[in-house]
Structure formats: C-alpha cells, structure tokens
Homo-oligomer: A and B are copies of this chain.
C-alpha cells in the first residue's frame, strides 16, 4: 500500500541545517551498569546515520533513547531543534519516529495483521460504530510482506509461529509503513535471507531519497558502507569515532568495527586452519 518512494509525504522542511534528531552528550545507566557515556549524534533529513560497534557497545541503548523507550540520564535530545524528554514511545511515534527494535517488539499470540498495525490501527465508521478496518489491515499486511519477499500463507497466523526472519520482516515493514520523518532500524537484516536483506537496504535507500532521516545499526560493514552517509562508532559505551562517508574507506571502517589489529590475527589463524581458498572476491550480497 505504502511505497516509500511515492506515497510518503515529504517531511515538513526543517530550518536549514537543523538536524531532525540530535543527541548531545547523552548518558544512560541501568542501575549501576553504565551503558552509554557522553554520546552525540545527528540525524539529518535525507541522510543515513549508521551506528556501528561491538556487541554490548550500547547501540541498542542509544536506539531505545531515540525511540522514547528509555529516558536518558544526562545530555540533551532535540527533535527539529526542540528539546524533548520522552516518557513513552508513543511520544516519539507521534513525532514521526518509527523504530524496529532488535528484539522486534511483537506480541507472539496475536495474528500477523494485528501486530502489523498495533498501536496505530486504522478505523472506519464513526461514533459507537467506529471499528477496525479489518479488510484493509489484512490486505496491507499481506502486500507489504509480499514486497519484501515473504509470501505468508495466512496473515491470521499468530506471529509467534512465524520464522525468525519472517518476524523481522513484519517489524521492518511496519516501521517503513508508519515512518514519517525518522526511521530507526536496530540490526534489521540480522535474521534475513540474502534477498530480504537486499530489499531492506533498498527500502532504507528509498526512505532516504524520500527525505527521511534514517538511523541504521548493523554489524555488517558492507551494508553500512553501501548506504551510510555518517558513521558513529561506539566502544564500551563511549563514542570512539564519528566519520562522514567521504573521510573513510570500507577497509578502515571494517578495521575499526573489529577493534583494529586483532582482526588480522584472527583472519590469519582461520586461514591457516581451513583448507579452502580465500573466498571469492564477489561483493557481499546484494551489493
């Protein structure tokens, strides 16, 4: 129903240069665990900001702050120049920020189509007869998934019975459908097949072209380098680097993500043990 390249209304133009979302010196602790310290980030309309980092670096925590799931402890969070402090994800959603969480945030026992529209259900009729527009909801869900390469048997299946990748596609399709200004994706391609990963990257690029700001988290430097405009590197909760695309090569990026020299050693070790030739030089899927 909603193809980003044509349907999404262009976001209201922000004052020139004002980022859609800006975090400055943001910190966050869970109890006595300091997950984020003094992290800054900007998301501009028509740009893709990639957040990269090791496992446990604090990427998802950053995302959750942007999405309004957790309030930040320190620092400032501004949306289009206006300082905010979300107390619920609803507020972020209402400001046009749509998020795909790493743990997907689905309700396992509910049918796929109900999950797809959860929290933003379309209705028809009025007064006491106002009711869910069930036919539209089912149709949209099936179409949106089909476009991602998932041909569901039955949109009435509880989402808990879908495969991991299918579930992830539902979450992404939902965010893309509702994303108005900013699209936040936490490892969207983690469980996806080659084809689906390609579709997601295509969506991300399309969203950017349509003028949305995108935050993308990934562990795949190829994916990141392919679509990203800015790269924020996190390490053990602090920022260890922030680069524009033009300032960095894929090689350097990969090296930084893996923590430098350790990687070489590892590759070397693996090479020695495996009897295979080094992998073909084909570009990573789908690029």
Q: Does A195 contact B (CB under 8 A)?
A: yes
Contact A192 B55 (CB under 8 A): yes
**Which B residues lie within 8 Å of A33 (CB)?**
153, 157, 161
Q: Does A54 contact B (CB under 8 A)?
A: yes
Residue-wise interface mask of A (46-70) relative to B, using a CB-CB cutoff of 8 A (1 in contact, 0 not): 0000000111110110000000000
Interface centre among A153, A199, A225, A276 (most CB of B within 10 A): A276
From B222, B250, B276, B283, contact of A226 by CB (8 A)? B276
Residue of B nearest to A274 (CB): B205
**Which B residues lie within 8 Å of A149 (CB)?**
54-55, 259
Q: How many copies does the complex hold?
A: 2
**Which B residues lie within 8 Å of A199 (CB)?**
266
**Which B residues lie within 8 Å of A146 (CB)?**
none
* A59 vs chain B, min Cβ distance (A): 8
Residue of B nearest to A162 (CB): B56
Contact B267 A198 (CB under 8 A): yes
**Which B residues lie within 8 Å of A30 (CB)?**
161
How far is B251's CA from A93's CA once the two chains are assembled, in angstroms?
Answer: 42
Cβ < 8 Å to B, chain A residues 32-86: 33, 53-57, 59-60
* A285 vs chain B, min Cβ distance (A): 6
How far is B254's CA from A197's CA once the two chains are assembled, in angstroms?
Answer: 13
Residues of A within 8 A of B (CB): 30, 33, 53-57, 59-60, 102-103, 149-150, 153, 157, 161-166, 168-169, 187, 190-199, 201-202, 205-206, 209, 219-222, 225-227, 245, 249-251, 254, 257-259, 262-263, 266-267, 269-271, 273-274, 276, 278-287
Known: A194-B258, A195-B263. 16 other contacts (CB 8 A): A33-B153, A33-B161, A54-B165, A55-B150, A192-B219, A195-B262, A198-B258, A198-B266, A202-B273, A225-B279, A225-B280, A226-B270, A226-B279, A250-B279, A251-B282, A271-B287
27 A-B pairs within 8 Å (CB atoms) are namely A33-B157, A53-B193, A55-B165, A55-B166, A55-B191, A55-B192, A56-B150, A164-B190, A165-B219, A190-B190, A194-B219, A194-B221, A194-B254, A195-B258, A199-B266, A220-B285, A225-B276, A225-B279, A226-B270, A245-B276, A250-B282, A251-B280, A258-B285, A278-B287, A279-B284, A281-B283, A284-B284
